[in-house]
Amino acid sequence: MPTICKPSVDVPEHVITMEETLKFAEETHHGKPQLPLALRLIRNTGVQKRHIVQPIEQTLRHPGLEQRNKTFETEAKKRCPKVIEEALAHADLTARDIDAIIFVSCTGFMMPSMTAWLINTMGFRTDTRQIPIAQLGCAAGGAAINRAHDFCTAYPSGNVLIVSCELCSLCYQPDDDNIGSLLSDGLFGDAVAATVVRGQGGTGMSLERNASYLIPHTEDWISYAVRPTGFHFQLDRRVPGTMQPLAPVLRDLAAGHGWDIANLDFYIIHAGGPRILADLSTYLGVDLHMFRHSSATLTQYGNIASAVVLDALRRLFEENTLTPHATGIIAGFGPGITAEMAIGRWHTTPTPTPTPRRHALPATL
Protein backbone atom coordinates (compact mmCIF):
# COMPACT_ATOMS: atom_id res chain seq x y z
CA MET A 1 0.00 0.00 0.00
CA PRO A 2 1.39 3.49 -0.83
CA THR A 3 3.20 5.15 2.06
CA ILE A 4 4.13 8.81 2.43
CA CYS A 5 7.56 9.06 4.00
CA LYS A 6 9.09 11.78 6.16
CA PRO A 7 9.13 15.17 4.39
CA SER A 8 12.07 17.51 4.25
CA VAL A 9 11.40 21.24 4.69
CA ASP A 10 13.65 24.27 4.28
CA VAL A 11 12.86 27.93 4.92
CA PRO A 12 14.87 30.95 3.72
CA GLU A 13 17.38 32.77 5.89
CA HIS A 14 15.62 36.16 6.02
CA VAL A 15 13.16 36.47 8.91
CA ILE A 16 10.41 38.97 9.61
CA THR A 17 8.64 38.95 12.97
CA MET A 18 5.06 39.92 13.70
CA GLU A 19 6.27 43.15 15.33
CA GLU A 20 8.20 44.07 12.18
CA THR A 21 5.21 43.19 10.00
CA LEU A 22 2.96 45.50 12.00
CA LYS A 23 5.54 48.28 11.83
CA PHE A 24 5.95 48.03 8.06
CA ALA A 25 2.16 47.89 7.57
CA GLU A 26 1.69 51.05 9.65
CA GLU A 27 4.43 52.88 7.73
CA THR A 28 3.31 51.75 4.28
CA HIS A 29 -0.44 52.24 4.73
CA HIS A 30 -0.50 55.08 7.26
CA GLY A 31 -3.82 56.90 7.35
CA LYS A 32 -5.79 54.25 5.45
CA PRO A 33 -9.20 53.71 7.12
CA GLN A 34 -8.92 49.92 6.86
CA LEU A 35 -5.50 49.79 8.54
CA PRO A 36 -6.67 49.37 12.18
CA LEU A 37 -8.80 46.35 11.24
CA ALA A 38 -5.97 44.85 9.19
CA LEU A 39 -3.52 45.25 12.08
CA ARG A 40 -5.95 43.54 14.44
CA LEU A 41 -6.45 40.65 12.03
CA ILE A 42 -2.69 40.23 11.59
CA ARG A 43 -2.20 40.10 15.37
CA ASN A 44 -4.93 37.45 15.60
CA THR A 45 -3.18 35.13 13.13
CA GLY A 46 -0.74 34.07 15.81
CA VAL A 47 2.10 34.13 13.26
CA GLN A 48 5.19 35.02 15.30
CA LYS A 49 7.67 35.01 12.42
CA ARG A 50 7.98 34.18 8.73
CA HIS A 51 10.91 33.41 6.45
CA ILE A 52 11.37 35.17 3.11
CA VAL A 53 13.83 34.77 0.22
CA GLN A 54 14.89 38.42 0.11
CA PRO A 55 15.60 41.05 2.77
CA ILE A 56 12.41 42.85 3.76
CA GLU A 57 13.53 46.16 2.22
CA GLN A 58 13.91 44.41 -1.12
CA THR A 59 10.66 42.51 -0.72
CA LEU A 60 8.71 45.73 -0.19
CA ARG A 61 9.83 47.05 -3.59
CA HIS A 62 8.19 45.84 -6.80
CA PRO A 63 10.77 45.40 -9.58
CA GLY A 64 8.18 44.19 -12.09
CA LEU A 65 6.67 40.82 -12.92
CA GLU A 66 9.54 39.76 -15.18
CA GLN A 67 12.18 40.27 -12.51
CA ARG A 68 10.07 38.65 -9.82
CA ASN A 69 9.55 35.56 -11.94
CA LYS A 70 13.29 35.39 -12.65
CA THR A 71 13.87 35.54 -8.89
CA PHE A 72 11.39 32.70 -8.39
CA GLU A 73 13.20 30.52 -10.92
CA THR A 74 16.62 31.32 -9.46
CA GLU A 75 15.54 30.67 -5.88
CA ALA A 76 13.64 27.49 -6.78
CA LYS A 77 16.67 26.03 -8.52
CA LYS A 78 18.86 27.06 -5.60
CA ARG A 79 16.66 25.64 -2.85
CA CYS A 80 14.84 22.59 -4.22
CA PRO A 81 17.78 20.16 -4.67
CA LYS A 82 18.65 20.16 -0.96
CA VAL A 83 15.16 19.23 0.24
CA ILE A 84 14.80 16.66 -2.54
CA GLU A 85 18.02 14.89 -1.58
CA GLU A 86 16.90 14.82 2.05
CA ALA A 87 13.43 13.51 1.14
CA LEU A 88 14.95 10.75 -0.99
CA ALA A 89 17.21 9.80 1.92
CA HIS A 90 14.22 9.68 4.28
CA ALA A 91 12.56 7.24 1.85
CA ASP A 92 15.75 5.17 1.36
CA LEU A 93 15.60 5.81 -2.38
CA THR A 94 17.68 7.49 -5.07
CA ALA A 95 16.63 9.71 -7.95
CA ARG A 96 16.73 6.66 -10.26
CA ASP A 97 13.98 5.01 -8.20
CA ILE A 98 11.48 7.82 -8.80
CA ASP A 99 8.81 7.23 -11.45
CA ALA A 100 6.91 10.54 -11.25
CA ILE A 101 7.62 14.04 -9.95
CA ILE A 102 4.74 16.22 -8.79
CA PHE A 103 5.83 19.87 -8.54
CA VAL A 104 3.41 22.29 -6.88
CA SER A 105 3.58 26.06 -6.61
CA CYS A 106 1.21 28.99 -6.93
CA THR A 107 3.84 31.73 -6.55
CA GLY A 108 5.85 31.58 -9.79
CA PHE A 109 5.62 30.31 -13.35
CA MET A 110 8.03 28.22 -15.41
CA MET A 111 7.63 26.48 -18.74
CA PRO A 112 9.04 23.90 -19.13
CA SER A 113 8.06 23.05 -15.59
CA MET A 114 10.63 22.85 -12.82
CA THR A 115 10.26 19.07 -13.23
CA ALA A 116 12.24 19.19 -16.49
CA TRP A 117 15.13 21.01 -14.82
CA LEU A 118 15.14 18.53 -11.93
CA ILE A 119 15.27 15.56 -14.30
CA ASN A 120 18.15 17.09 -16.26
CA THR A 121 20.07 18.22 -13.17
CA MET A 122 19.55 15.68 -10.41
CA GLY A 123 19.87 12.30 -12.11
CA PHE A 124 16.22 11.33 -12.46
CA ARG A 125 15.43 8.97 -15.33
CA THR A 126 14.39 10.58 -18.60
CA ASP A 127 11.15 8.57 -18.61
CA THR A 128 10.07 10.05 -15.26
CA ARG A 129 6.49 11.32 -15.43
CA GLN A 130 6.10 15.09 -14.93
CA ILE A 131 3.01 16.33 -13.06
CA PRO A 132 3.11 20.09 -12.37
CA ILE A 133 0.22 21.56 -10.35
CA ALA A 134 0.01 25.33 -10.47
CA GLN A 135 -3.51 26.53 -9.72
CA LEU A 136 -4.73 24.82 -6.57
CA GLY A 137 -3.04 27.21 -4.16
CA CYS A 138 -2.88 25.98 -0.59
CA ALA A 139 -4.88 22.85 -1.46
CA ALA A 140 -2.11 21.65 -3.77
CA GLY A 141 -0.16 19.97 -0.97
CA GLY A 142 -3.10 17.67 -0.26
CA ALA A 143 -3.80 17.25 -3.98
CA ALA A 144 -0.19 16.22 -4.63
CA ILE A 145 -0.40 13.54 -1.94
CA ASN A 146 -3.66 12.27 -3.42
CA ARG A 147 -2.34 12.16 -6.99
CA ALA A 148 0.76 10.33 -5.74
CA HIS A 149 -1.54 7.88 -3.96
CA ASP A 150 -3.49 7.36 -7.19
CA PHE A 151 -0.28 6.83 -9.18
CA CYS A 152 1.08 4.24 -6.77
CA THR A 153 -2.27 2.46 -6.69
CA ALA A 154 -2.14 2.19 -10.48
CA TYR A 155 1.57 1.25 -10.44
CA PRO A 156 2.10 -0.66 -7.15
CA SER A 157 5.89 -0.72 -7.56
CA GLY A 158 6.09 2.98 -8.39
CA ASN A 159 7.53 5.83 -6.34
CA VAL A 160 6.48 9.48 -6.54
CA LEU A 161 8.45 12.55 -5.48
CA ILE A 162 6.41 15.57 -4.35
CA VAL A 163 8.07 19.00 -4.36
CA SER A 164 6.40 22.16 -3.05
CA CYS A 165 8.08 25.51 -3.72
CA GLU A 166 6.08 28.42 -2.32
CA LEU A 167 7.81 31.83 -2.38
CA CYS A 168 4.78 33.85 -1.33
CA SER A 169 6.78 37.01 -0.63
CA LEU A 170 7.39 37.38 -4.38
CA CYS A 171 3.67 38.04 -4.78
CA TYR A 172 3.63 41.06 -2.46
CA GLN A 173 1.82 44.01 -4.04
CA PRO A 174 2.75 47.28 -2.27
CA ASP A 175 -0.16 49.24 -3.75
CA ASP A 176 -2.91 46.80 -2.69
CA ASP A 177 -4.61 48.01 0.47
CA ASN A 178 -7.85 46.03 0.73
CA ILE A 179 -8.35 44.01 3.89
CA GLY A 180 -7.66 40.66 2.22
CA SER A 181 -4.36 41.88 0.77
CA LEU A 182 -3.22 43.52 4.00
CA LEU A 183 -4.04 40.37 5.96
CA SER A 184 -2.12 38.20 3.48
CA ASP A 185 0.91 40.50 3.83
CA GLY A 186 1.12 39.45 7.48
CA LEU A 187 0.17 35.80 7.00
CA PHE A 188 2.08 34.15 4.17
CA GLY A 189 5.67 32.94 4.31
CA ASP A 190 8.18 31.20 2.03
CA ALA A 191 9.22 27.56 2.17
CA VAL A 192 10.37 24.63 0.06
CA ALA A 193 9.36 21.08 0.95
CA ALA A 194 9.62 17.61 -0.52
CA THR A 195 8.48 14.09 0.29
CA VAL A 196 8.28 10.68 -1.35
CA VAL A 197 5.28 8.40 -1.65
CA ARG A 198 6.52 4.82 -2.00
CA GLY A 199 4.35 2.21 -3.66
CA GLN A 200 5.94 -0.47 -1.51
CA GLY A 201 7.90 -0.35 1.73
CA GLY A 202 8.79 2.79 3.62
CA THR A 203 7.92 4.19 7.03
CA GLY A 204 5.20 6.78 7.47
CA MET A 205 1.51 7.17 6.75
CA SER A 206 0.08 4.34 4.68
CA LEU A 207 -2.48 5.98 2.38
CA GLU A 208 -5.75 4.05 2.27
CA ARG A 209 -8.36 6.40 0.83
CA ASN A 210 -8.47 9.91 -0.64
CA ALA A 211 -11.15 12.33 -1.75
CA SER A 212 -11.70 15.79 -3.20
CA TYR A 213 -14.55 18.21 -2.62
CA LEU A 214 -15.48 21.57 -4.10
CA ILE A 215 -17.89 23.88 -2.27
CA PRO A 216 -20.26 24.95 -5.07
CA HIS A 217 -20.13 28.51 -6.37
CA THR A 218 -17.21 29.69 -4.24
CA GLU A 219 -14.59 29.93 -6.97
CA ASP A 220 -14.16 33.69 -6.48
CA TRP A 221 -13.66 33.51 -2.70
CA ILE A 222 -9.90 32.88 -2.98
CA SER A 223 -8.33 33.97 -6.23
CA TYR A 224 -5.57 35.75 -8.09
CA ALA A 225 -6.29 38.76 -10.24
CA VAL A 226 -3.63 38.64 -12.97
CA ARG A 227 -2.50 42.16 -13.84
CA PRO A 228 0.58 43.73 -15.45
CA THR A 229 2.24 43.77 -12.03
CA GLY A 230 1.61 40.06 -11.48
CA PHE A 231 -0.62 38.08 -9.14
CA HIS A 232 -2.90 40.07 -6.85
CA PHE A 233 -4.30 37.97 -4.01
CA GLN A 234 -8.05 38.29 -3.44
CA LEU A 235 -9.73 36.95 -0.31
CA ASP A 236 -13.47 37.03 0.38
CA ARG A 237 -14.54 37.70 3.96
CA ARG A 238 -16.65 34.53 3.87
CA VAL A 239 -13.59 32.26 3.61
CA PRO A 240 -13.03 31.88 7.39
CA GLY A 241 -16.46 30.24 7.65
CA THR A 242 -15.79 27.46 5.17
CA MET A 243 -15.03 24.80 7.77
CA GLN A 244 -18.73 24.53 8.61
CA PRO A 245 -19.61 22.99 5.21
CA LEU A 246 -16.30 21.11 4.95
CA ALA A 247 -16.38 19.43 8.36
CA PRO A 248 -19.19 17.03 7.30
CA VAL A 249 -17.14 16.09 4.22
CA LEU A 250 -14.20 15.11 6.42
CA ARG A 251 -16.55 13.21 8.70
CA ASP A 252 -18.11 11.32 5.77
CA LEU A 253 -14.70 10.37 4.37
CA ALA A 254 -13.72 8.77 7.66
CA ALA A 255 -17.14 7.15 8.13
CA GLY A 256 -16.94 5.62 4.65
CA HIS A 257 -13.78 3.89 5.84
CA GLY A 258 -15.42 2.72 9.06
CA TRP A 259 -13.71 5.34 11.22
CA ASP A 260 -14.94 8.09 13.54
CA ILE A 261 -13.37 11.41 12.55
CA ALA A 262 -13.43 12.55 16.19
CA ASN A 263 -11.30 9.61 17.37
CA LEU A 264 -8.30 9.47 15.06
CA ASP A 265 -4.76 9.40 16.38
CA PHE A 266 -3.34 12.26 14.31
CA TYR A 267 -4.56 15.18 12.20
CA ILE A 268 -2.47 16.98 9.58
CA ILE A 269 -4.54 20.00 8.56
CA HIS A 270 -3.73 22.97 6.33
CA ALA A 271 -3.85 25.93 8.72
CA GLY A 272 -4.69 28.95 6.60
CA GLY A 273 -5.31 30.74 9.87
CA PRO A 274 -6.16 29.93 13.48
CA ARG A 275 -9.92 30.04 12.89
CA ILE A 276 -9.73 27.03 10.57
CA LEU A 277 -8.30 24.91 13.37
CA ALA A 278 -10.66 26.36 15.98
CA ASP A 279 -13.72 25.71 13.82
CA LEU A 280 -12.65 22.17 12.96
CA SER A 281 -12.09 21.51 16.64
CA THR A 282 -15.70 22.56 17.27
CA TYR A 283 -17.41 20.97 14.28
CA LEU A 284 -15.51 17.67 14.45
CA GLY A 285 -15.43 17.37 18.23
CA VAL A 286 -11.63 17.12 18.24
CA ASP A 287 -9.46 18.60 20.98
CA LEU A 288 -7.54 21.59 19.61
CA HIS A 289 -4.29 20.03 20.88
CA MET A 290 -4.63 17.38 18.18
CA PHE A 291 -3.91 20.12 15.61
CA ARG A 292 -0.66 21.13 17.36
CA HIS A 293 1.58 20.34 14.38
CA SER A 294 -0.43 22.52 12.01
CA SER A 295 -0.58 25.24 14.63
CA ALA A 296 3.20 25.13 15.09
CA THR A 297 3.74 25.56 11.36
CA LEU A 298 1.45 28.60 11.32
CA THR A 299 3.13 30.16 14.36
CA GLN A 300 6.73 29.63 13.27
CA TYR A 301 6.51 29.90 9.46
CA GLY A 302 3.15 31.51 8.68
CA ASN A 303 0.90 30.15 5.96
CA ILE A 304 3.37 28.53 3.57
CA ALA A 305 0.63 27.55 1.12
CA SER A 306 0.92 24.02 -0.30
CA ALA A 307 3.92 23.26 1.94
CA VAL A 308 1.87 23.52 5.18
CA VAL A 309 0.71 19.90 5.23
CA LEU A 310 4.22 18.66 4.47
CA ASP A 311 5.75 20.69 7.29
CA ALA A 312 3.04 19.63 9.74
CA LEU A 313 3.63 16.01 8.71
CA ARG A 314 7.38 16.48 9.28
CA ARG A 315 6.64 17.66 12.80
CA LEU A 316 4.52 14.58 13.39
CA PHE A 317 7.43 12.35 12.32
CA GLU A 318 9.84 14.20 14.60
CA GLU A 319 7.51 13.97 17.59
CA ASN A 320 7.93 10.19 17.21
CA THR A 321 5.01 9.15 19.43
CA LEU A 322 2.87 7.11 17.03
CA THR A 323 2.55 3.34 17.19
CA PRO A 324 1.92 1.05 14.21
CA HIS A 325 -1.63 1.23 12.79
CA ALA A 326 -2.39 4.63 14.38
CA THR A 327 -5.11 6.26 12.28
CA GLY A 328 -5.00 9.75 10.83
CA ILE A 329 -6.04 12.27 8.22
CA ILE A 330 -4.33 14.82 5.98
CA ALA A 331 -6.44 17.70 4.63
CA GLY A 332 -5.55 20.69 2.51
CA PHE A 333 -7.88 23.59 1.65
CA GLY A 334 -7.56 26.21 -1.05
CA PRO A 335 -9.10 28.06 -3.98
CA GLY A 336 -12.27 26.62 -5.36
CA ILE A 337 -13.11 26.40 -2.43
CA THR A 338 -11.37 23.03 -2.68
CA ALA A 339 -10.62 20.37 -0.09
CA GLU A 340 -8.14 17.54 -0.74
CA MET A 341 -8.22 14.80 1.90
CA ALA A 342 -6.49 11.49 2.61
CA ILE A 343 -6.78 9.00 5.45
CA GLY A 344 -4.54 6.14 6.47
CA ARG A 345 -2.57 4.37 9.18
CA TRP A 346 0.92 4.71 10.56
CA HIS A 347 3.15 2.16 8.91
CA THR A 348 6.51 1.04 10.29
CA THR A 349 7.41 -2.02 8.25
CA PRO A 350 11.17 -1.99 7.58
CA THR A 351 12.04 -0.70 4.13
CA PRO A 352 13.46 -3.35 1.79
CA THR A 353 16.70 -2.63 0.01
CA PRO A 354 15.72 -1.04 -3.30
CA THR A 355 16.51 -3.04 -6.41
CA PRO A 356 18.07 -1.04 -9.26
CA ARG A 357 15.37 -0.53 -11.85
CA ARG A 358 16.38 -1.73 -15.30
CA HIS A 359 13.12 -0.87 -17.03
CA ALA A 360 10.58 1.91 -16.76
CA LEU A 361 7.09 1.30 -15.54
CA PRO A 362 4.55 0.32 -18.23
CA ALA A 363 3.63 3.16 -20.54
CA THR A 364 -0.08 2.53 -20.00
CA LEU A 365 -2.31 0.84 -17.47
Q: Which of 198, 180, 101 is nearest to 144 (CA)?
A: 101
The reply to whether 164 and 233 lie within a common domain is no
Count CA atoms closer than 13 A to 172's CA, side-chain side. 26
**Cβ density class 229-268: b for 16+ within 10 Å, e for less:** ebbbbbbeeebbebbeebbeebbebbeeeebebeebebbb
Residue 84 domain flag: yes
The predicted pLDDT at position 364 comes to 53
Residue 355 domain flag: no
The predicted pLDDT at position 129 comes to 97
Residue 92 domain flag: yes
Q: Which of 77, 138, 75 is nearest to 106 (CA)?
A: 138
The reply to whether 194 and 208 lie within a common domain is no
The reply to whether 220 and 290 lie within a common domain is yes
Where a domain ends, among 198, 225, 257? 198
Give the sign of the dihedral formed by CA 198, CA 202, CA 205, CA 206: positive
Residue 235 domain flag: yes
pTM summary value: 0.93
Residue 361 domain flag: no
The reply to whether 211 and 192 lie within a common domain is no
How far is it, in rounded angstroms, from Cα 111 to Cα 55? 27
Q: Tens of pLDDT along the chain (365 residues)?
A: 899 999 999 999 999 999 999 988 888 788 888 888 888 888 888 899 999 999 998 998 899 999 999 999 999 999 999 999 999 999 999 999 999 999 999 999 999 999 999 999 999 999 999 999 999 999 999 999 999 999 999 999 999 999 999 999 999 988 888 888 888 888 899 999 999 999 999 999 999 999 999 999 999 998 888 898 888 888 888 988 899 999 999 999 999 999 999 999 999 999 888 899 999 999 999 999 999 999 999 999 999 999 999 999 999 999 999 999 999 999 999 999 999 999 999 988 664 555 555 456 665 54
Residue 259 domain flag: yes
Range of the domain at 102: 3-198
How far is it, in rounded angstroms, from Cα 56 to Cα 346? 40
Where a domain ends, among 163, 198, 233? 198
The reply to whether 28 and 121 lie within a common domain is yes
The predicted pLDDT at position 338 comes to 96
The reply to whether 84 and 178 lie within a common domain is yes
3-class secondary structure per residue, the chain:
CCEECCCEEECCCEEEEHHHHHHHHHHHCCCCCCHHHHHHHHHHCCCCEEEECCCHHHHCCCCCHHHHHHHHHHHHHHHHHHHHHHHHHHCCCCHHHCCEEEEECCCCCCCCCHHHHHHHHHCCCCCCEEEEECCCHHHHHHHHHHHHHHHHHHCCCCEEEEEEEEEHHHHCCCCCCCHHHHHHHCCECEEEEEEEEECCCCCEEEEEEEEEEECCCCCCCEEEEEECCEEEEEECCCHHHCHHHHHHHHHHHHHHCCCCHHHCCEEEECCCCHHHHHHHHHHHCCCHHHHHHHHHHHHHHCECHHHHHHHHHHHHHHHCCCCCCCEEEEEEEECCCEEEEEEEEEECCCCCCCCCCCCCCCCCC
The reply to whether 172 and 65 lie within a common domain is yes
Cα 34 from chain centroid (whole Å) = 30
The reply to whether 134 and 191 lie within a common domain is yes
Catalytic residue among 80, 106, 138, 165: 138
The predicted pLDDT at position 235 comes to 85
The reply to whether 150 and 110 lie within a common domain is yes
Residue 363 domain flag: no
Q: Which of 317, 331, 198, 190 is nearest to 261 (CA)?
A: 331
Q: Name 193's Cβ contacts closer than 8 Å, sequence gap at least 6.
A: 7, 8, 9, 10, 83, 141, 163, 164, 304, 307, 310, 311, 314
CATH of the domain at 225: 3.40.47.10
- For residue 138, indicate whether it is catalytic: yes
Contact 96, 123 (CB under 8 A): yes
The reply to whether 170 and 223 lie within a common domain is no
The reply to whether 252 and 192 lie within a common domain is no
Amino acid at 7: P
Residue 178 domain flag: yes
The reply to whether 56 and 73 lie within a common domain is yes
Tally of structural domains, the chain: 2
Where a domain ends, among 198, 226, 244? 198
